[in-house]
Structure formats: structure tokens, C-alpha cells
Amino acid sequence: MTDGRRRGRASLAFGFFAQGVAFALLVTRIPAVQARYGVSDALLPLFLAAVPILAGLGSVTTEQLVKRVRPSRLLRWSQPVVLLSLLGVGAGTNLVALAIALAAFGLAVGALDASMNMLGVSLQRAYGRSIMLGFHAAYSLGGILGASLAWAGAHWHLALWVSYLPVVAVLLPATLLGSRWYVDGGDPAPDVREAERRPVVFRLLLPLCLVMTFAYIGDSTVSNWSAKYLQDTLGGSEQLATVPYNVYMVTTLLGRSIGDLGVRRFGAVTVVRIGVLLAAVGFAVVAGAPGAWVGMLGFTLLGLGLCVLVPQTFAAAGRLFPGASDTAVARLNIFNYVGFLIGSPLVGALGDAWSYRGAMLVPMVLVLVTLVYARSFAPRSDRYRDGHERPRTADVGRGSNGL
């Protein structure tokens, strides 16, 4: 069973990595997609908004499907749909084909995000220690690779399908092979109190939903506005303006790579609070930066701060509803897309009406609100038996085998 969990952990990490590659390849080539299909500037926001909306629908559907189908099976078949839809975006010839490909991508991404985080939460429960940040570190690594491949495709003026086909040809069979070792979670530990076997109550989940929304508002602010802000507001060159997002992704990877160790040592509440403060300082530095290089420092702090919030929010939902963690994760995942939909238009509207420096303070304030809900990340009363971690830092419930 231990070897099975290790294989499950490795295969799931690869699934996160593959998703990071695919998503980055799509979002970083939006200008090329627009040029290929002749999508007007007025129509483009509708296409882009449709993806997270359909992803939210996919997450809602997943909540119902996991009552009858194991999350591992949903993940096994949603990942190929994402990859083939990506290829469809690159190979289509008209707007109808683009709309179909993006619709399939959005629905499948919703199911994929929900199901892979379900497996991550259940595996963390089985391991009895924090491993969730490691899965999201694999996603960040995939995003860096995907963005690098997208840069290479743009640099060499490759057609979209030429850029996408080799990636899909490698990742599709690899993810199908790796899916053989996905591990579904079992029931909560026998000693979980009956009161903790309650169904998901939205009122109790709401604080984590708000944290998820605020985290993605911050993330979408960086991904959509960092280049424009550095160039237009801070006076950076066009070449330098491409750097902040890459810096943000690298520091996100770094923070998530070491984040599980921090959770095990200091506890989830402390790590979340530190992350929130770093992110707030990062936004403040960006808003007040006198020049491009100081602004770059701000985006570095943002990566280190924001990176812990989403993985720990999913983990906290699993702890809050140990008897219904799949349902909790599916509902929480919807607010990933809510934040993504709100963040970019919010900053853009405030920037046009007020100033982009002032607009950067809004996600800062929203992220700081997370401090109010920090206790939502506190561990349950369960404690590990082997004593390898300090009792106050226990961040997950025990698995059914008592680990």
C-alpha cells in the first residue's frame, strides 16, 4: 500500500505538471490565436471569459459525477480532452472550430482541476503530512516549461499547431500511462468524530471560497497586467516587461517547493499568514515602485506570497469536511474561476478610471482580508502517532491506516 501511494503521488504530480504545460501554452499564445482566427478586440474578451465560465460548469458537473465515478477515472479521461482541445485550438480554421475547441478545453479543465485536487487532498490525508504544495509546485514547473515553449514557438514564428503537436504527442501517452497509478482516497479515519462526517455546508466553506477568490484575483493581476504595468507605468523597456511574469512563476515554484516543509514545521496557519503578508508587501512595493527594477522586486515577493494560498485552501477544505472532501474541493474550485474572471477586468477598469498604481492596491487589500480567515486553516484535533512532527503543526487528519 505504501508503494502504491508513492506511485500515486508521483503520477499525480506528473498530472499537475502536464496541466501546467497545457494551460501556459494556451494563455501565453492568445495574441497568436487571435491573429490566426481574425478575432476582433471586441470579440476576444468573450472568448476568453467563456473558458473560465465553462470550467466552473465543469467543476460543478464533477461534483455530481464523483458520486458515481471515482475521481481518478475522471482525471484519467479529462486530461486527454484538455490536451486534444489545445491541439484543436492550434489546428482549427474558423471561429466555429475555435469556439468548439475552447468550449471543450474549458469544460475539461474544470473537471481536471477539481479531480486532481480531490486526489491531492485524499493523498495528503493518507500520508498524514503536508504534500499538497508539492503538487502545485509541479504545476508551476509545467507552467514555466509551457511558457518557455510558447516563447520558442513565437520566436521561431511557428504555426500554433506545429508548437502544440509535439507537446501533445509526448504528454498524451505519458499522462495515460501515469494514470494507471492514480490513487483514490478512502473513507476518513475510523476515529474521526461523527460531527466531522457532516455534508458540505456552504456557510462553513464560504471563508475558504473568499480566500480562493482573492488569491486568484491577485494571480490574474500579475499574469494579465505585470508586463503593461512595468512598461507603461514604471518606464521599463519592452524586453524587460516580459520578465516580471517569469520571475513570478519562478518564485512561485520556489515557494511551493519548500512550502510543505514550512507547513510541517510551523503549521498551515502560520504559513498562510506569512504568505499573505509577503503578497501584501509585494503589491505595495509594485504600487509605489519608482522604477522597473524595484517593481521587479515587488513581483518577486508576490510569487513567494501568493503561491501558498491556493494549495493550502484546498487542503483546508479537505480537513473541514473529511467525510465529503471531494464535494468540498469541487465547490471550492469554482471560486478559482470567479477570481480569474474578476481580477483582470477589475484592475483594468480601476487603472483606466483612476491609476494603475492605485489599482494595484485593491488586490493588496483583498489579499490582506485573508488574515481574517486565517484560523480556517487550523488543523483538526487529530494528531500523528509517530511523533515526527510537532503536535501544533499537524495539518491533516490521519489516514485510515493511522499514518
Where does the pLDDT of residue 287 fall: very low under 50, low under 70, confident under 90, or very high at 90 and above?
Answer: very high
CB environment 327-350: b (16+ within 10 A), e (fewer) = bbbbbbbbbbbbbbbbbbebbbeb
Mean pLDDT (the chain, rounded): 89
Predicted pLDDT of residue 197: 56
Strands (E), 158-307: none
Predicted pLDDT of residue 323: 87
Predicted pLDDT of residue 130: 95
CB atoms within 10 A of CB 146: 26
Q: What is the pLDDT of residues 154-181, one digit of tens each?
A: 889 899 999 999 999 999 999 999 999 9
Where does the pLDDT of residue 396 fall: very low under 50, low under 70, confident under 90, or very high at 90 and above?
Answer: very low
Predicted confidence (pLDDT) at residue 20 exceeds the cutoff of 80: yes
Predicted pLDDT of residue 196: 52
Q: Which CATH number is 196-393's, of 1.20.1250.20, 1.20.140.10, 3.20.130.10, 3.40.980.10?
A: 1.20.1250.20
Residue written as cell 506511485?
7
Cα 398 to Cα 11, 186, 392, 395: the distances in Å are 22, 11, 14, 10
Fold match flag (1-182 vs 196-393): yes
Q: CA 174, CA 157: separation in Å to the nearest integer?
A: 27
Q: Output 204 or 388, whichever has higher pLDDT.
A: 204
Cell of 233: 507605468
Q: CA 351, CA 102: separation in Å to the nearest integer?
A: 29
Domain 1-182, CATH homologous superfamily name and number: MFS general substrate transporter like domains (1.20.1250.20)
Where does the pLDDT of residue 189 fall: very low under 50, low under 70, confident under 90, or very high at 90 and above?
Answer: low
Non-local CB neighbours of 9 within 8 Å, separated by 6+ positions: 123, 127, 131, 183
Non-local CB neighbours of 66 within 8 Å, separated by 6+ positions: 74, 115, 118, 326, 327, 330
Where does the pLDDT of residue 395 fall: very low under 50, low under 70, confident under 90, or very high at 90 and above?
Answer: very low
Q: What is the pLDDT of residues 95-130, one digit of tens each?
A: 999 999 999 999 999 999 999 999 999 999 999 999
Annotated domain spans of the chain: 1-182, 196-393
Predicted confidence (pLDDT) at residue 256 exceeds the cutoff of 50: yes
